[in-house]
Structure 1
């Protein structure tokens, strides 16, 4: 089973962006593998923190499903909480049979590189203005690409302890740069906000172990990279940043809601206004869309965003559809594992730090992504949150356990 979980974890990340619905293949393999728990019955030795993570996953799922049935929303809405629920048996499987660490780090690097290669093909050969790799949306491709690049960066601390560390350094740095490049070429501005925050987290972590000079080195490298990305000819960063500034100015001066940012501002405002009707449990998906249609008929909202099914902000979208209860469940899903990963990062063993740092980066990225788009309304968004979360948690637990018992963690 250890080989099976390792291969599945590798495929999960390696195929995520280069193959259509590739992120689902490794996840499906892990889910099918979890069936073995019914007859193998391994000793899981669940700790309090394991139960807290399970509680966060199950609470989000239960609140979502209860709200969906209360409001009579369509059954296709069940897809999102189902993905969260399916991560539970996968977590138990990985706690019992933790994957090879190399499978996780290699999968991340190859996945980011494969996604960037496909995006370059789309941009250069197919003349796609905003490449989306094998996903269905440039925004979500850009965000996931940035996420994978930042997670690959977290693996450098692990690579330092490996026999072939130079090769691992090269692969993970290539994966990091490919992930950043994929985000840049996609033109997804929301994902760019995560870059300085995540790089700072990595720099601080490395500085605590190897000295404060690492902060200066990593931040200088990031500043150079961002300058190059901005000032290169025909840079998507320069063009998209300039467009954003122009659109904000138009909105402030003329209340122009025809641009992408103007439409976002309108969707955010409408979500806030509508959330006041049922602040505790929200309107549900159908109620939200019906109220938007009514506002268009009254002339209080433009028709351009009427058929958009989300508020382009995870927090506001949850607030208007599932109310304050839903927002609390969402924050529990993000902040509970973030806190536990951070505690391990602060007090855990050296072997567990790369996975704890990755968990902090994962949750931080989603906290940032959710500010400008509804990351958790599509399968790729929710799967690329909860499945890496449980993979990293199992890897961290295994590393911590091996260190505490004096065992050698597999390389």
Structure 2
């Protein structure tokens, strides 16, 4: 089972961006493989933290599904929360038969490199001004940045391997291609997540090895941002200046039909609608119907009528699922993040790369959620649910077994 799980874990990340729905291949393999638990019946030796993680995944599924049922929303609305339920047997499988560490980090690096090459080809060879890979620019750009950030988290593991030069180069390439892939899509959410996660990495290495790592990391980060902003081929400068101008125009009511202006209108509309149904929200169809009514009354711009979400994870959950739905989202982000963060204090440094990756995963999704609703999308749900259990099982395995060079 270890070999099978290792292949599935590798394919999950490696194909996430280079192939449309590629993440489903590894995820399906893992879920199907979890059936082996029924007849092999391994001793899982679950700890309190494992139960907390499992409880978080189940809580999200139960709360979101119950509210969908309450509002009698279409059956497809069960699809996203169901993925978190399916991640539970996968977690148990990986705790019983952990994937090889090399499959985790190689998959992340190959996935990031493949994604960066893909959008680069779309931009340069196909002439697509804002490439979106196999999905759309926002989704693709955010996941590309996420994979690049996770590759940075794995550098501590790479440096402990016999072939550390090769592993370090591979993960560094993954980091660079992941960030470049995100920049080429012009998706601004990932640009915010990157410096936040980079600061977390710098602080961790500074605590472990001295402040020189903090200073070196922050200088490198500042240099990368400056280069990304300055080079003519980059869209960072143009998109940043555009955001500032759109915000000024919106505040002066000069032009609200911009990308940022429409987002702000959607956020304002969600805030206005929430007090009427604060506990369980409007439901998806109720939200759309009420928004249409407000448009007819002239209280909401018609330009946001076609959007089925609020482009903000927290406000979207609040207006559609109420405070219970919002609490489920916050628990899904914060509880796993806390479990990973606690392991950063472990005296066993073998768990630190996984803990850093888990913290970066949680932070990234919390930042992405400020400008998009990632938990309503297949790629967003799958990457969060399955990367969480993959990284947690890797952390648990690293903490209980002797180091084995791979």
1:232-259 deviations in Å (ceiling 9; x for gaps): 0142001111111111111111252210
Q: Which string of whole-angstrom CA distances, capped at 9 and with x for unpartnered residues, describes residues 298-340 of structure 1?
A: 0111111112110000000000011001111111111111111
Alignment-derived partner of residue 362 in structure 1: 361
Is 1:91 matched with 2:91? Answer: yes
Tell me, yes or no, if the aligned pair for 1:10 and 1:103 is still in contact at 8 Å: yes
Per-residue Cα deviation, 1:255-313 (whole angstroms, up to 9, x for no partner): 52210000000000011111111111111101100101101110111111112110000
- Return the alpha-carbon distance in structure 2 between the equivalents of residues 220 and 57 of structure 1: 38
Q: Does 1:237 align with 2:254?
A: no
Aligned mates of 1:35, 1:109 — CA distance in 2: 29
1:155 aligns to 2:154 (yes or no)? yes
- Deviation of 1:48 (Å): 0.7
Q: Secondary structure at the match of 2:257?
A: coil
Task: Render the CA deviation track for 1:37-73: whole Å, top value 9, x for unaligned.
Answer: 1111111111111000001000000001000010010
Distance 1:230 1:61 in 2: 41
The runs of at least 4 consecutive aligned structure 1 residues that moved more than 3 Å come to none
Contact 1:146 1:191 in 2 (8 A): yes
- Report the counterpart of residue 280 of structure 1 in structure 2: 279
TM-score, structure 1 normalization: 0.97
Question: Which residue of the partner structure matches residue 66 of structure 1?
Answer: 66
**Could you tell me how far 1:410 is from its partner in structure 2?**
5.0
Q: Residue 284 of structure 2 contacts residue 320 of structure 2 at CA under 8 Å; is this kept in 1?
A: yes
- Structure 2 unmatched ranges of 5 or more: none
Matches of residues 166-185 of structure 1 in structure 2 within 5 Å?
A: 166-185=165-184
Q: What are structure 1's unaligned runs of at least 5 residues?
A: none
- Aligned pairs, number: 406
Q: Which residue of structure 2 lines up, in the alignment, with residue 138 of structure 1? A: 137
Deviation digits for residues 192-226 of structure 1 (CA, Å, limit 9, x no counterpart): 00111111111111112221101111111111111
User: How far has the Cα of 1:348 moved from its partner?
Assistant: 4.8
**C-alpha RMSD of matched pairs (Å):** 0.9
Counterparts of 2:204 and 2:159, CA distance in 1: 14
1:11-410 equivalences in 2 (<5 Å): 11-134=11-134, 136-402=135-401, 407-409=402-404
**Residues 392/181 of structure 1: CA separation in 2 closer, same or farther (3 Å cut):** same
Following the alignment from structure 1 to structure 2, what is the Cα–Cα distance between the partners of residues 88 and 346? 26
How far apart, CA to CA, are the structure 1 residues paired with 2:69 and 2:26?
Answer: 30
Q: Partners of 1:112 and 1:284 in 2: how far apart? A: 36
Identify the residue that residue 7 of structure 2 maps to in structure 1.
7
Return the alpha-carbon distance in structure 1 between the equivalents of residues 9 and 323 of structure 2: 35
Deviation string for 1:77-123 (max 9, x for gaps)? 11101111110110000000000000010011110000111101111
Give me the TM-score of the superposition, normalised by structure 2.
Answer: 0.99
